[in-house]
Structure 1
């Protein structure tokens, strides 16, 4: 028995009362009496040793501690509900994998291929959530992750799926309509667009092509997601560094142009990892083996993030 955890019924009552900031409305929602809600909340406050509500005449208002606790409890209750519904849906058969992924890899590479895995393993449900920054598995609900980097995360087991390859300066043809062919010197005077998760890309390109430490390398707007960066390039807002394997179709169709054959080489790639406690679980092993079987069959154009 976990002695530090309050009664689940009391937490449900508190969450409803906090959400409505009303004992009366919480009682209506939970089919309880108002006095029963008051007793549950009072018992929880006594248990915690912290005031969760301020009683102001006939109103109740969350204290700062109560407001923070309500957010955390709501997340926990939602997770319990989701896990319960998933178990009921599976009727005790099969497994669910919570997979954290970088967004472009998920939308343009993984999701189009997932029907193959579903046909192969209908007993395994793969839920996808976006994460663009590193995280600790111990502080998250995830079983595994696909991320962009240069090595396997400490405390995990996994493998490199594939490397990204070269990135090249690209822009909309409309942006070049009035300025003609670009030289290296002219390109660096144009608006440069940046991906927030790769803040040093243009600086690395400047150094790699003999421009040294130049303040122009950090100028220009930053975009959190690759899809946002792509939209900005299509809109003619500037020049971005994009991996060739991500934009082969756009370059072939003429929607984008690479004005200079001056790539930025990268040794980074997309890794699939899981914490040690999950790495040998059969569902993760099955997903890992299936993903690795796809990589040799993918052409360089298909192997995009």
Structure 2
């Protein structure tokens, strides 16, 4: 069936006129005459069978239908522009991947390791996009997702990668050598907004008392919590896998036990089994599994008595 889509010239003229609220300014932007803009919009209105502008003398004003349609057209044109520039930026004889990933995992774990993947696969470009919540992978435009295990991935292929074990960390100056767990109750505590009961669960697990576990500043991302801890604002309960470098360098300290209860598990999400995926996706999936396996082995060695 033939699609009922207006000409791109008419849509571009309409979007510019709607944005400026003026045919003259739209004409100036598009290097056309005001009459050309008026004719294109007239053709668009005729095609749609709907009036988009109210014309009063030399002035024009968007009608309600025009306002709604302008927002939709602007979104579609912006998306086409992004997609076109994205395709134009692809090297010849090369492949690319679009991966959805949680923001802190990308910043703190994945991106620092991507140079190794690039060295092994110089012809594959990896594009990362932030996704904080699970979503429908099919039809999303993403080749894979790196996210938490979640019922929303039912029907997809999920491959466990790493466990998110939480540990309290803070700037060394904040505790001034104190080592006892009980000191946590006298220190400012930082919270991740999406996990308001994390400190309560941690306290119950390690057997300490917190008079009011909910007290303290809240942040959206673990990355924000880590920066707040580095700034000396309090004790942050964060995944150990995100702060290994800071702990090794002494920029953060963790004198308290880690919460052995696993809060979440990171996994690789694919629309089909790894063995059936296309070359670039399979290469990334295998590499990611190997990286996660190496981290797990290193963690086991450091935690085994």
Give the TM-score taking structure 1 as reference length.
Answer: 0.80
Q: CA RMSD in A?
A: 3.4
Aligned residue pair count? 298
Distance 1:262 1:86 in 2: 43
Query: Which residue number corresponds to residue 38 of structure 2?
Result: 38
The verdict on how the C-alpha distance between 1:115 and 1:250 changes in structure 2, with shifts beyond 3 A counting, is: closer
Query: Which residue number corresponds to residue 147 of structure 1?
Result: 147
CA contact (8 A) 1:100 1:130 kept: yes
CA contact (8 A) 2:6 2:47 kept: yes
The verdict on how the C-alpha distance between 1:92 and 1:123 changes in structure 2, with shifts beyond 3 A counting, is: same
Shift of 1:16: 2.1
**Residue of structure 1 aligned with 2:239, choices 235, 243, 260:** 243
CA contact (8 A) 1:150 1:267 kept: no
Question: Counterpart of 1:16 in 2: which secondary structure?
Answer: helix
The verdict on how the C-alpha distance between 1:250 and 1:29 changes in structure 2, with shifts beyond 3 A counting, is: same
Question: Counterpart of 1:217 in 2: which secondary structure?
Answer: coil
Query: Which residue number corresponds to residue 82 of structure 1?
Result: 82
Shift of 1:241: 0.7
The verdict on how the C-alpha distance between 1:98 and 1:66 changes in structure 2, with shifts beyond 3 A counting, is: farther
Question: Counterpart of 2:252 in 1: which secondary structure?
Answer: coil
Question: Counterpart of 1:100 in 2: which secondary structure?
Answer: strand
Q: How does 1:10-159 map to 2 (within 5 A)?
A: 10-48=10-48, 52-55=52-55, 57-63=57-63, 66-90=66-90, 93-137=93-137, 140-149=140-149, 153-159=153-159
CA contact (8 A) 1:152 1:159 kept: no
Any idea what the Cα deviations from partners look like across 1:70-113, whole Å, max 9, x if unmatched? 34433332332333334344476333322111222222332233
CA contact (8 A) 1:204 1:264 kept: no
> 1:219 aligned to 2:215?
yes
Query: Which residue number corresponds to residue 188 of structure 2?
Result: 191
Shift of 1:266: 0.8
CA contact (8 A) 2:167 2:238 kept: yes
CA contact (8 A) 1:162 1:270 kept: yes
Distance 2:64 2:185 in 1: 50
Distance 1:267 1:137 in 2: 23
Shift of 1:62: 4.2
Distance 1:86 1:277 in 2: 27
Query: Which residue number corresponds to residue 172 of structure 1?
Result: 171
Query: Which residue number corresponds to residue 9 of structure 2?
Result: 9
Q: How does 1:266-285 map to 2 (within 5 A)?
A: 266=262, 268-276=264-272, 280-285=277-282
The verdict on how the C-alpha distance between 1:276 and 1:61 changes in structure 2, with shifts beyond 3 A counting, is: farther
Give the TM-score taking structure 2 as reference length.
Answer: 0.80
- Dislocated runs of 4+, deviation >6 Å: none
